[in-house]
């Protein structure tokens, strides 16, 4: 009799543990879903505030159907940081890979209106994966828009730099893309970045954060100074993809103050190490990335540059 009671007691314990595991697993799924919904809700609040406070030139850049607004556009009181400088560029890039594996890119600059109406040309294929039959040509055609801004931040005063890349259509090649800024006359305090996206299995807004001096960040303090982040593009990205780099610092007391910003898309699968195999140089790709050894891995999207000291000639 005692033995039967013991067996029943153990069965109750086992059933309790199994049910507890199921509840815990469901709880984690619910927490993940709630977190994604929270990101969406927080972004919606920021979008409304941003559109209420931002100048028209900023609103134009973020005139997407579902814009993403980083919290770093605002100060601690929730006010939009004063805009010192802004440059934007809208680009269509076609990547051609011939039967011999030689990569070429063709770039066409768009107006904001053309970008808003842009769709993938029917005469091109979105994917350049697999073999190329009968020596035919293969294309990856995308449209992206790039923003570089300087914001006033802090009382010293300090200045916050942002580089934002937004995809109109999702890339077919998803590897380590690079977003970076090169500068002179600017003292860095800290830097960070984001990859905002949704997926085919989760339409909610999600984010990957990149920390200062983290594994994915490359920093140069000698010769040409610069900061870049390599971002591994999410494989099952659906219809939202935005890449961002943010830097806090201050202007030097004297000398030239100038910046260049670039986003480079890898058109073949590469490693993190390959994406870091460059030096910062204004004669490089996008006026930031001097790749070593080959430039053919990248789509060669044009960069942006800003001379904050107009008295010193520097052609962008």
CA dist 125 and 123 (Å) reads: 7
Closest to 161 (Cα-Cα) out of 64, 229, 90, 230? 229
Neighbours of 106 (CB within 10 A): 13
Please give the Cα distance from 208 to 243 (Å, whole number).
10
Alpha-carbon 149 to chain mean position: 15
Alpha-carbon span 274 to 301, nearest angstrom? 18
Helical H segments across the chain, by residue range: 2-53, 56-61, 112-117, 272-275
Contact 242, 197 (CB under 8 A): yes
- The confidence score (pLDDT) of residue 122 equals 56
What local confidence, expressed as pLDDT, does residue 22 receive?
37
For the chain, what is the mean pLDDT? Answer: 82
Rounded to a whole number, what is the distance in angstroms from the first to the last CA of the chain? 90
Q: What is the pLDDT of residue 178?
A: 97
pLDDT of residue 133: 46
Instruction: Please report the pLDDT score of residue 314 as a whole number.
Output: 56
pLDDT the model gives residue 121: 66
Q: Are 198 and 240 in contact (CB under 8 A)?
A: yes
pLDDT computed for residue 106 by the predictor: 79
The CA distance from 157 to 78, in Å, is 18
CA gap 231, 196 in Å, rounded:
11
What are the backbone angles phi and psi of residue 141, rounded to the nearest 5°?
-115, 125
Answer whether 146's CB lies under 8 Å from 261's CB. yes
180 phi/psi in degrees, rounded to 5: -155, 165
Give the span between the Cα atoms of 204 and 198, in whole angstroms: 6
Encoded tokens for 310 = 């107009």
Q: Give me the count of residues in the chain.
A: 316
Q: How far apart are CA 254 and CA 226, in angstroms?
A: 19
Q: What is the pLDDT of residues 285-303, one digit of tens each?
A: 999 999 987 888 898 999 9
Q: Can you list the residues of the chain whose pLDDT is less than 50?
A: 2-3, 7-33, 123, 125-136
180 close to 262: Cβ distance less than 8 angstroms: yes
């Amino acid at each position: 009799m005692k033995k039967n009671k013991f067996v029943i007691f153990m069965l109750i314990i086992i059933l309790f543990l199994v049910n507890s595991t199921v509840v815990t697993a469901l709880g984690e799924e619910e927490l993940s879903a709630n977190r994604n919904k929270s990101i969406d809700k927080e972004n919606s609040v920021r979008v409304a505030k941003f559109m209420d406070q931002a100048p028209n030139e900023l609103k134009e850049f973020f005139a997407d159907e579902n814009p993403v607004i980083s919290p770093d556009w605002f100060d601690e009181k929730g006010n939009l940081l004063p805009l010192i400088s802004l440059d934007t560029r809208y680009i269509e890039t076609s990547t051609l890979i011939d039967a011999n594996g030689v990569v070429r890119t063709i770039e066409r600059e768009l107006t904001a209106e053309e970008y808003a109406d842009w769709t993938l040309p029917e005469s091109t294929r979105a994917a350049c994966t697999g073999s190329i039959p009968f020596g035919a040509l293969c294309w990856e055609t995308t449209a992206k828009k790039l923003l570089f801004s300087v914001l006033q931040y802090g009382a010293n005063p300090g200045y916050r730099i942002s580089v934002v890349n937004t995809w109109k259509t999702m890339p077919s090649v998803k590897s380590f893309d690079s977003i970076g800024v090169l500068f002179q006359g600017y003292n860095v305090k800290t830097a960070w970045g984001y990859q905002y996206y949704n997926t085919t299995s989760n339409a909610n807004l999600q984010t990957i954060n990149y920390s200062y001096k983290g594994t994915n960040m490359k920093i140069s303090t000698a010769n040409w100074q610069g900061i870049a982040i390599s971002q591994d593009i999410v494989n099952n990205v659906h219809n939202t993809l935005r890449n961002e780099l943010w830097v806090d610092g201050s202007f030097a007391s004297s000398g030239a103050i100038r910046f260049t910003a670039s986003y480079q898309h890898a058109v073949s699968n590469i490693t993190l190490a390959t994406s870091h195999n460059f030096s910062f140089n204004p004669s490089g790709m996008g006026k930031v990335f001097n790749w070593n050894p080959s430039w053919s891995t990248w789509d060669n999207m044009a960069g942006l540059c800003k001379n904050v000291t107009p008295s010193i000639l520097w052609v962008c």
